[in-house]
Each structure stands twice: as structure tokens, then as C-alpha cells.
């Protein structure tokens, strides 16, 4: 009876996975017009026949980059959520990063140690072999999520978490694997510093902390949206190193 | 069709959540909580919030479950000593 229920639940989950995922547009086929307005895509909110431009009839003039005398901050990012999170609420994101840092610090203080904890059991063959295949793919996927944060759904936090999952997989499959505190700490600290330095550069150039001072580029290009990719690379590496350090703390024990 | 799927997903979430509270073993409760996160990922996809879905999948269904499981085994190891 238990087995019957297990098969039923697994079948329901797989059915849901397939049917929900099939509603997502396939790669490169997403209709941007569904997510953002025509004026956003043609990068002019002021004076242009945007509908004609979308259909390829009107010539794209250099848009006036201002709304009420202000630079249009969200115009360079194809993913509007990212644009709001990094352009308007970047200070909020800095606060979230700080909260995560404090949480990881607490875990490190309570559980941290300088030695890998030995469980005295070998991981089985399937886990070991599949880890070798999966870990590079998982790290690449995590990096993709934060590098393309301004184009596709995702961003620094999920990308960093996915990278930390790769290190968790390594910890589970290998009894000797141990990330040194120095490496994760150095990456985390330098990337957190980079984020603040980008913010201070914005303060120096634009007059606001975390001001988007770089040119916006073309919507949909990899190098676009000003500082958004830079900030997301910094956040992604910081969160990845931080959570890898947290996983390390969970799998370590104190000397003696 | 989509509505029935969403109702099915919501019903599964409620059942898993009640099971997580009522389960005798903590391990079962942790797995049931991970199921709640996993099904809510599908719901977020249906509601066109892929950003939240990715975060929920990696944090809610992945890392939180892993941290809970590791700390659960640590607690058990402490009890035996």
C-alpha cells in the first residue's frame, strides 16, 4: 500500500512538472511584448510611434532618454523584475546580502570548525559518478543564471544558491573534500566589497548611492542595462561563496 | 485544464503541509515541507513568476531541505553520545 501511494505521488509530481513547464515559452522564443510595453522595448517613452517601430515600419530614432528630466533607469534590462531590484531597490538588496552574511556568520560561530567531519562511510557508486558529471553543469547553470540576470529570470541570489548546491553535492559524495575558509572568505569579502565600491562609484558619478552610471545599451544584449550585470555577478559570487562556506560549516567539526 | 492542475497542486500542498505537522518522524516532516516548496514552484511558474520560481526551487526545495537534514542528523548523532 505504501508503495502504491509512493508511485501515485511521484506520478502526480511528474505529470505536474511536465504540464506546468510546457506553458513556459521555449528558449529564445519568449515574447517580450507580453512582459513589457512597446515603449520600453523601443527605448523611448516620449515621442515615437512605437507600434510602427515594433512592426519594422518606422525608423528607430535616437530616443530621448529622459522622463520628466530624469534618466530612464529601467530601460536597458529585458527582465523588468531585475531592473527594479537592482535599479530602484539596490539598497534593499545590499541589506539582504548583509542579513545573509549575518546568518552565515552565526552558523559559522556555532557549528564551524577547522577539520572535515568524518562520517566513516563511503558514498555509493551512483552518487560518486553522477557528481562528476553534474557538478560542472550545475556550476555553469548557476553562473548562467546570475550572468544573464538582466535578460532572463534569475539573478544573484538564486545563481549563488545553485553554485552552493554544487559544493553540497561534492561534500556528500566525497569524504575528503574540504573547502578552505580562506578561499570562500576571500571571494565573499572581495565580492561584497565590489558591490559597495560600485555603489560608491555611483555616488561619485551620479550623485546617488548605487546610481546606474553606465550606458544602458540595447535591450536584450548581454552587455546592457548599465551596472546590473556587474552587480549581479558580484552578488552571485558572494552568495555562492557564502552558502558554500555555510555548507562547509555544517560538514566540519572542531579540532580535538 | 490549467485550473484543474492548479487546484490539484494546491490540494497537494495542503495535504503535504498537514502531513508535515502531523508526521511522527521529523524526517518525514522535513521531506513533506520540501514537497510543499516543490509544488509551490509549479504554482509560481503557472502564475508567470519565473524569478520567484527559480529562487524557491533553489532555496526552498534545495538548500533549506539540505540544511534541515544535515542538522537533523547532527542532532541524532548528539543524542547517541
Same domain for A138 and A243, yes or no, is: yes
Same domain for A107 and A220, yes or no, is: yes
Same domain for A223 and A108, yes or no, is: yes
Chain A residues closer than 8 Å to B9 by CB: 16, 20
Same domain for A169 and A212, yes or no, is: yes
Quote the CA–CA distance of A24 and B47 in Å, as a whole number. Answer: 11
Q: Which residue of A has its CA nearest to B1?
A: A19
| Residue A75 in domain | no
pLDDT at A47: 47
Mean pLDDT for B27-56 is: 87
**Among A25, A237, A239, A164, CA closest to B45:** A25
Tens-digit pLDDT string for chain A (256 aa): 889 988 988 888 888 888 887 877 777 666 666 666 666 655 555 445 556 655 656 555 545 445 444 555 556 677 777 877 887 788 888 888 899 889 888 888 887 777 777 777 778 888 889 998 999 999 999 899 888 888 878 888 889 899 988 998 888 888 888 888 888 888 888 988 898 898 888 888 877 787 777 777 666 677 777 788 888 899 999 999 988 888 888 888 777 6
Same domain for A22 and A96, yes or no, is: no
Measured N-to-C along each axis, helices A2-21 and B26-46 cross at an angle, to the nearest 10 degrees, of 20
List the domain range (segments joined by +) for residue A107. 80-253
**ipTM entry:** 0.80
Give the list of residues 6+ apart from residue A78 with CB closer than 8 angstroms, or none: A32, A35, A36, A150, A151, A152, A219, A220
How many whole angstroms from its chain centre is CA A87? 15
Same domain for A31 and A111, yes or no, is: no
Quote the CA–CA distance of A50 and A46 in Å, as a whole number. Answer: 10
B74/A246 Cβ within 8 A: no
Nearest to A165 among B38, B53, B62 (CB): B62
B64 in contact with A, Cβ within 8 Å? no
Nearest to B58 among A13, A16, A158 (CB): A158
A157/B67 Cβ within 8 A: no
> Is the separation of the CB atoms in A224 and A230 below 8 Å?
no
Same domain for A148 and A101, yes or no, is: yes
Nearest to B54 among A21, A153, A251 (CB): A153
| Residue A222 in domain | yes
DSSP lists the bridge partners of residue A66 as A71
> Is the separation of the CB atoms in A12 and B12 below 8 Å?
yes
Same domain for A188 and A239, yes or no, is: yes
Q: Which residue of B has its CA nearest to A18?
A: B42
Chain A residues closer than 8 Å to B71 by CB: 250
- Residue B81: band (very low, low, confident or very high) from pLDDT cuts 50, 70, 90: very low
pLDDT at B52: 87
Q: pLDDT tens for residues A46-81?
A: 445 556 655 656 555 545 445 444 555 556 677 777
Q: How far is CA B75 from CA A5, A120, B68, B72, B81, in A?
A: 30, 17, 10, 5, 10
| Residue A90 in domain | yes
Size of interface A-B (CB pairs under 8 A): 65
Mutate which of A153, A168, A169 to disrupt the B interface (most B C-beta within 10 Å)?
A: A153
Q: How many domains does chain A have?
A: 2
Same domain for A43 and A146, yes or no, is: no
C-alpha cell, A118: 568524518
Same domain for A40 and A93, yes or no, is: no
| Residue A66 in domain | no
Same domain for A45 and A119, yes or no, is: no
B2/A153 Cβ within 8 A: no
| Residue scoring higher pLDDT (B79 or B52) | B52
Nearest to B42 among A16, A81, A154 (CB): A16
Q: Output the CA torsion A178→A182→A184→A188 (10° steps).
A: 170
Residue B23: CB atoms within 10 Å: 15
Quote the CA–CA distance of B44 and A211 in Å, as a whole number. Answer: 31
Same domain for A84 and A172, yes or no, is: yes
A243/B58 Cβ within 8 A: no
| Residue A185 in domain | yes
The string of DSSP letters for A22-81 reads TTSPPTT---HHHHS-HHHHTT-SSSS-HHHHHTT-S--PPPP-EETTEE-GGGG-S-HH
Amino acid at each position: 500500500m505504501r508503495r502504491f501511494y509512493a508511485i501515485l505521488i511521484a506520478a502526480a509530481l511528474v505529470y505536474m512538472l511536465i504540464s506546468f513547464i510546457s506553458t513556459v515559452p521555449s528558449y529564445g522564443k519568449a515574447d517580450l511584448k507580453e512582459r513589457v510595453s512597446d515603449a520600453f522595448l523601443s527605448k523611448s517613452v516620449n515621442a515615437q510611434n512605437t507600434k510602427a517601430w515594433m512592426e519594422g515600419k518606422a525608423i528607430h530614432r535616437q530616443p530621448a532618454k529622459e522622463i520628466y528630466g530624469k534618466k530612464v533607469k529601467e530601460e536597458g534590462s529585458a527582465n523588468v523584475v531585475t531592473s527594479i531590484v537592482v535599479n530602484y531597490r539596490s539598497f534593499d538588496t545590499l541589506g539582504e546580502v548583509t542579513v545573509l552574511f549575518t546568518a552565515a556568520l552565526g552558523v559559522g560561530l556555532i557549528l564551524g570548525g577547522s577539520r572535515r567531519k568524518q562520517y566513516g562511510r563511503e558514498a555509493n557508486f551512483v552518487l560518486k559518478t553522477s557528481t562528476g558529471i553534474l557538478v560542472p553543469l550545475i556550476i555553469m547553470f548557476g553562473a548562467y543564471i546570475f550572468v544573464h540576470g538582466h535578460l532572463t529570470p534569475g539573478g544573484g541570489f538564486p545563481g549563488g544558491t545553485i553554485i552552493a548546491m554544487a559544493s553540497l553535492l561534492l561534500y556528500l559524495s566525497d569524504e575528503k573534500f574540504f573547502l578552505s575558509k580562506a578561499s570562500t572568505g576571500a571571494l565573499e569579502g572581495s565580492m561584497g566589497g565590489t558591490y559597495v565600491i560600485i555603489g560608491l562609484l555611483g555616488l561619485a558619478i551620479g550623485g546617488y548611492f548605487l546610481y546606474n552610471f553606465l550606458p544602458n545599451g540595447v535591450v536584450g544584449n548581454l552587455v546592457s542595462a548599465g551596472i546590473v550585470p556587474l552587480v549581479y555577478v558580484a552578488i552571485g559570487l558572494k552568495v555562492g561563496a557564502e552558502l558554500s562556506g555555510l555548507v562547509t560549516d555544517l560538514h566540519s567539526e572542531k579540532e580535538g | 485544464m490549467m485550473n484543474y492542475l492548479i487546484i490539484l497542486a494546491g490540494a497537494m500542498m495542503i495535504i503535504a503541509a498537514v502531513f508535515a505537522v502531523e508526521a511522527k518522524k521529523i524526517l518525514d516532516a522535513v521531506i513533506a515541507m520540501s514537497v510543499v516548496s516543490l509544488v509551490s514552484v509549479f504554482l509560481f511558474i503557472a502564475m508567470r513568476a519565473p524569478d520567484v520560481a527559480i529562487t524557491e526551487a533553489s532555496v526552498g526545495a534545495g538548500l533549506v531541505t539540505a540544511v534541515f537534514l544535515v542538522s537533523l542528523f547532527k542532532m541524532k548523532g548528539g543524542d547517541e553520545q
